[in-house]
Structure 1
Amino acid sequence: MAGALLLAALAIMPAAAQSSAEAEIRAAFAQWTDDFNARRADKTCDLFAKDLIAQYRGAPERGYARQCELLTTALTDPKRRFHNALAIREILVLGDIAIARVVWTQTIRENDSGKETRTVEPGLDVFRKEPDGKWRIIRYLAYDEE
């Protein structure tokens, strides 16, 4: 009987750890989305690891510094307002690595004319649990739907 209880506990532990990691990643996405939409440029880079490699269709690969520069430029642009919404399709947790399939919907509003442009951008984000306990994106691939 004790052996069966031990086996059951061992089977549950990985599922519980995966559930906890998935919840942490969902919370990180939610915080990032809130920071981005509130134009808190100083906080949006925290979702990315320092060794980030990002690839967006048609653009050259970029690292952490360039990614942060692009975010800061967008969020401090006085002529436009950016808004992101996120749909998480799937999160797979594999130890200290996780893969998230996501779809971002970005709306850009021109302040002077009120014109809005909307893009839908499916992507794949690879997270790593960092030494400080936070999940951060180490790789991402994204593209706009045609």
Structure 2
Amino acid sequence: MRSDEQAIREVHSIWIDGINAGDLTRLLPMTTDDVVLIIPGEVCIGRDGFAAKSSGAHEELLIHCVSELKEVVVVGEVAYTRSRDSLTVSPRAGGEESRLAGDRLTIYRKQPDGRWLLARDANTVSPVVEP
């Protein structure tokens, strides 16, 4: 039987793959009904806001995220991860690529069926300034 920590590491990896693919059919079932995402400079969004924002972004942009998991902590039916994310964002129509980076804290809740779902997510991703 796999450990809860291993399960969370897998969920994290699947989430990043889904973000890179812009695959809402994979991402939305990985969130709780009351999910809250905190994005720098914006109002917190829930599942519907995430779906709209993600769908719109992937129509206009190619997004590639690399996420280095730094910490996984499981306490009963709740867990959190801390990661360092680096994103490359390119307009589909062509144009200059943007790079962003920052830390992310994600809270997961274990469901009665044993699945871990993303419940809260906050990131500090901002543009990378070249020296």
Report TM bin, short chain: 0.7 to 0.9
The answer to whether the 8 Å contact 2:85/2:125 transfers is no
CA distance in 1, matches of 2:104, 2:124: 6
The answer to whether the 8 Å contact 1:82/1:108 transfers is yes
- For residues 30-65 of structure 1, the C-alpha deviation after alignment (integer angstroms, 9 at most, x for no partner) is 112222223323212222211112212211111121
1:116 corresponding residue in structure 2: 97
The answer to whether the 8 Å contact 2:67/2:84 transfers is yes
* Structure of greater Rg: 1
- For residues 98-141 of structure 1, the C-alpha deviation after alignment (integer angstroms, 9 at most, x for no partner) is 01111221111123335211101211111101223211111122
**1:36-115 residue pairs with structure 2 within 5 A?**
36-75=19-58, 77=59, 79-115=60-96
Query: Which structure has the highest strand share of the two?
Result: 2
Q: What root-mean-square deviation, in Å, do the aligned CA atoms of Structure 1 and Structure 2 show? A: 1.9
The 3-state SS of whatever aligns with 2:99 is strand
- State the percentage of identical aligned residues: 24
The answer to whether the 8 Å contact 1:104/1:121 transfers is yes
- For residues 8-35 of structure 1, the C-alpha deviation after alignment (integer angstroms, 9 at most, x for no partner) is xxxxxxxxx9x71111011111112222
AA aligned opposite 2:4? A
Over 6 Å off, 4+ runs: none
AA aligned opposite 2:113? D
The 3-state SS of whatever aligns with 1:61 is coil
AA aligned opposite 2:82? R
1:125 partnered with 2:106:
yes
Larger relative contact order (Cα-Cα within 8 Å, sequence gap ≥ 6)? 2
Task: Provide TM-score, normalisation by structure 1.
Answer: 0.77
Unaligned runs of 5+ in 2: none
1:9 corresponding residue in structure 2: none
Query: Which structure has the highest helix share of the two?
Result: 1
The 3-state SS of whatever aligns with 1:100 is strand
